Amino acid sequence: MKIRTSDENGSVLPLVAVSMTFMFIMLAMVVDIGWIVNAESELQHAADAAALAAAAKLIDEDALRGISDLSDDFLVARDYAESYVAFNKSARKVLAVDRNEENDVTGGVVIGYIDDPFDLNSPFVTEGISAYNSVQVKTQLTQELNGPLALLIGAIVGVDSVDVKAKATATIEDRIAGFALNEGERLPMLPFTAYDETWYGQIDGINDRDEYTVENGVVTSGADGIPEIRLYMWKNNLESIHIPQIPGQAGNVRTLFVTPSLGVSYNKNQIYNGMSVTDLDAVDGLVLTDDGSGNSTKWLPGEHWMSSEWHTALRNIVGETRILPLFQTLHVGSAPPIALMDEWNELFGECPGSLLFGMPETCCAITQYYEVDEFKAVTVVYSYWSSTTTKCYFTVQPTQITSNQAIVDPNMPGSGTVYALSLTR
C-alpha cells in the first residue's frame, strides 16, 4: 500500500497556475481578436456611409444652368464625408477623418475619377482630369487619428494597442443604359418620349425658355436659371421659339405603350405611379443595347395620341420628378421596324397589321415605334389642354436624381440628370 505524503499534494499547484495563466492569455487573445474584428467592421461601416454621402455631392448642380463649377461640390463632399464619419463610432469612440483638402492620394478623403467603376483594374485617378465621379474615404484608429485600439492582452505580452484601418470608394455615375426593378417596385417614368433634338434645341443657351422656379417640389412663376422644355403632341408650327419637331411629323413628343394592356386608364396610372415590373416585362425590359453601330438604343412602341385624362394627371403631378426617355429615330408603319421584328414576334406573336396586345385595332392601333437612346430626369412644371384647337402640351424642367434602379454602362454618354450611386471599391 502506497503512503501519500503531504509534499505530493502541493505538486499540483504549479500545474494549475500555469494552466490558468495560459487559459487567461488565450481568453484575452480571443477577446482581443473579437475586439479588433468588431472595430474594423465599425470603421468599414463608417467609411462606406461617408463615401456614399460624399460621392452623391459630386453631382454638379450648376450644370443645369449651363455652367460648371465643382469647387463648391468638393467642399460639400468633404463636409458630408466628415459628418457621416462622425455619425459613427468605433471602439466606443466618436470618429474623425482627415479632410485632405490637398486631395493627396494618401489622405482620408480623396476625390477622383474611375472610368469603369465595375472594373477593379480601372485606376482611381486624381490628377490631370476635369471630371470627378468617385470619393475614397479612409477611417482609422491609429496614433495619428482617433487613437489606436487598446488590447487586453497588452498587460501580459507587452502589446497594449494596435492600429485598425478601413477604406471605401463610392461612385456617382450618369452613364445610364436603362433600369431594372425588383418585384413590387415602380419606376417613376412618364409614358411619353421626346424627340432628342427637341431637348437639346430648347436648352442650347440661345432659345432657352425660363419661366418657372422649382424649389422643394413647389413650382412658381419666375426664372430660376434652368431652362424648360415645352413638349407638344400636336403642333405643326411650333411658335416663334425654336422647338425642333419630329421630322415629317407634328409635335415633338409621343405616347409610349410600355404596358401589357393598352388603354387611357393604364397610361394615366403610369403618369401618377410610374412603370411596374409587369410593364417593363411587356417590352422585354428597359435596357439600351448596341444597335450594331456603336450606339445603344431600344425600340419602343407608341402612338401620336393624347388624352384629356392624361393632361389632368400631368397637372396633378406638377412639381414632381419623373424620368423622360428621349428618342432619335421614328418608324411609322403597321409593322415594327426590321431591327425589332424578331423580338416583337417572340414577345407578342405575329400580329396582323397594327394589332398588338390583343386590343381592337380601332381602339389603340400601334403604328409608330421610337428608337430610345437616352433617359433624362425632369420636373413637370405645367400642362395645357384645349379640346377646341387640339392644342396640348406640357412643360418640364431638367432636374437631377439618384436612382438605385439605374443600370450603368461606361460606354453610354452621360445623362447629366439621372445618376446611379454605389460602392465600387
Q: 363 CB contacts (<8 Å, ≥6 apart)?
A: 262, 263
Which tens digits make up the pLDDT trace of 1-57? 555 555 555 566 676 666 666 666 666 666 778 889 999 999 999 999 999 999 999
**Cell numbers for 40:** 474594423
Q: Give the Cα separation of 95 and 101 in Å (integer).
A: 18
152 neighbors 32 (Cβ within 8 angstroms): yes
Q: Which domain holds residue 194?
A: 176-423
Number of domains in the chain: 2
Pairing verdict, β 296-303 and 401-402: unpaired
2 in a domain, yes or no? no
Q: How high is the pLDDT of residue 23?
A: 66
* 401 shares its domain with 298: yes
pLDDT at 61: 86
Nearest CA among 372, 362, 363 for reference residue 301: 372
Residues 239 and 311 in one domain: yes
User: In terms of domains, do 126 and 73 share one?
Assistant: yes
Same domain membership, residue 165 and residue 274: no
User: Is 1 part of any domain?
Assistant: no
Q: Give the Cα separation of 243 and 118 in Å (integer).
A: 39
Of 151, 173, 195, the residue at which a domain comes to its end is 173
> Do 379 and 314 contact (CB within 8 A), yes or no?
no
Which range of 69-83, 139-153, 169-183 scores highest in mean pLDDT? It is: 169-183
Amino acid 359: pLDDT:
37
Residue 164 phi/psi, 5-degree rounding, is: -130, 135
pLDDT at 389: 58
Asked whether residue 209 is domain-assigned, the answer is yes
How much of the chain exceeds pLDDT 90, in percent? 56
Q: Is 217 contained in some domain?
A: yes
Q: Is the pLDDT of residue 149 over 70?
A: yes
pLDDT given for residue 71 in this prediction:
79
**Residues 366 and 409 both lie in one domain:** yes
Q: In terms of domains, do 279 and 239 share one?
A: yes
Please identify which residue in the block is written with the cell numbers 459630386: 58
In this prediction, residue 175 carries a pLDDT of 96
Q: How confident is the model at residue 148 (pLDDT cuts 50, 70, 90)?
A: very high
pLDDT tens per residue across span 351-403: 433 334 333 333 345 668 899 999 999 999 999 887 665 678 899 999 999 99
Say if residue 155 is in the same domain as residue 197.
no
Considering 115, 139, 173, which residue would you say is the last residue of a domain?
A: 173
Q: Give domain status of residue 6, yes or no.
A: no
d(CA 340, CA 310): 28
pLDDT for res 26: 64
- Clarify whether residues 144 and 199 are in a common domain: no
The helix (run of H) or strand (run of E) holding residue 186 is strand 186-187
Give the whole-number percent of the chain exceeding pLDDT 70: 80
Residues 315 and 226 in one domain: yes
pLDDT reported for residue 360? 36
Where is the domain boundary, 152, 173, 194?
173
Q: Interhelix angle for 264-273 vs 308-316, to 10°?
A: 10
Q: What is the pLDDT of residues 303-349, one digit of tens each?
A: 887 888 899 999 999 999 999 999 998 888 655 565 555 555 554 44
pLDDT confidence bin for 292, thresholds 50/70/90: confident
Lowest pLDDT segment from 86-100, 110-124, 144-158, 282-296: 144-158
Verify that 320 and 362 share a domain, yes or no. yes
- Give φ, ψ of 345 to 5 degrees: -65, -35
